[in-house]
Amino acid sequence: GDCLSPESQSCLQFQQDGFLVLEGFLSAEECVAMQQRIGEIVAEMDVPLHCRTEFSTQEEEQLRAQGSTDYFLSSGDKIRFFFEKGVFDEKGNFLVPPEKSVNKIGHALHAHDPVFKSITHSPKVQTLARSLGLQMPVVVQSMYIFKQPHFGGEVSPHQDASFLYTEPLGRVLGIWIAVEDATLENGCLWFIPGSHTSGVSRRMVRGPVGSVPGTSFLGSEPARDNSLFVPTPVQRGTLVLIHGEVVHKSKQNLSDHSRQAYTFHLMEASGTTWSPENWLQPTAELPFPPLYT
């Protein structure tokens, strides 16, 4: 949309780079509230069946894979848990403490949890969206990302619109909030400035019902010059705006400390078609909620 903000300098910066760092967006107290709530959610979590299934035959492995696929594909309107590799033994018992095992929680904290709902729809987020010219923004998904110490895996270079495709493009906006400091050591975000202007190079689409792994890619990520990436280490409470087509990545967390973040995606719903091939689809139980309340 058009820059409607008094801070039009930063709005223009966002249009130029495809990302924008807004320091001190949330208070330390708001970050602590999210961390505490996540601690409660993890303490109460049930390990999903596909993680607990002991499998020996190929047939059992196929069933487990199908269960894993279904669990992911039906997570758009739920609070669900996705784990790091190697945290369970073959019987589904934890090899590490449960709170150290979770890779992320998705994809509807924003709808079902009061703490995350209030942050997502907070007056300052609504004001930010208005300043960016969003007319009918809806929340399409949310994730709490742990980036665990030592094995918090790297996220390879990608564009969010590969997974959240719209027609026309340019209608999806990522809001990434550092719940803890993000440093060069613990896996901060890296961007290619200005990489948001030439469309998407690949798309993840839903396969036929019942297929495993349930999604496939059209196209592929091109080889990109590593030197084009710029790191964005930020302090807790910083909000990073991420254009749906800007190329970004994060490295493995090699530090002793997690790098927790809360992220959610907005779509300008006015005049936009959400691709029916996206893995994530609105449901009768949870149509994409309007951001503005």
CA distance 191 to 104: 21
What pLDDT, on a 0 to 100 scale, did the predictor assign at position 5?
59
Please give the mean pLDDT across all residues of the chain.
94
Is residue 279 in some structural domain? no
Confidence of residue 161 (pLDDT cuts 50, 70, 90): very high
Query: Are residues 240 and 232 in contact, defined by beta-carbon separation less than 8 angstroms?
Result: yes
Residue 288 has what DSSP assignment?
Answer: P
Q: Domain residues for 75?
A: 9-274
CA–CA distance from 87 to each of 91, 103, 155, 220, 259 (Å)?
11, 10, 19, 30, 18
Is residue 186 in some structural domain? yes
The pLDDT tens digits of the residues spanning 77-102 come to 999 999 998 899 988 899 999 999 99
Classify each residue of 31-46 as buried b or exposed e, where b means 16 or more C-beta atoms within 10 Å of its C-beta: bebbbebbeebbeebe
Check residues 12 and 30 and name the one with the higher pLDDT. Answer: 30
The pLDDT tens digits of the residues spanning 245-260 come to 999 999 999 999 999 9
Is residue 286 in some structural domain? no
Question: Is 80 exceeded by the pLDDT of residue 8?
Answer: no
Q: Looking at the 3D structure of the chain, how many domains does it have?
A: 1
The pLDDT tens digits of the residues spanning 33-84 come to 999 999 999 999 999 999 987 777 888 888 888 999 999 999 999 999 999 9
pTM: 0.96
Place of tokens 């993840």: 204
Is residue 23 in some structural domain? yes
Domain CATH number, residue 183: 2.60.120.620
Residue 206 has what DSSP assignment?
Answer: E
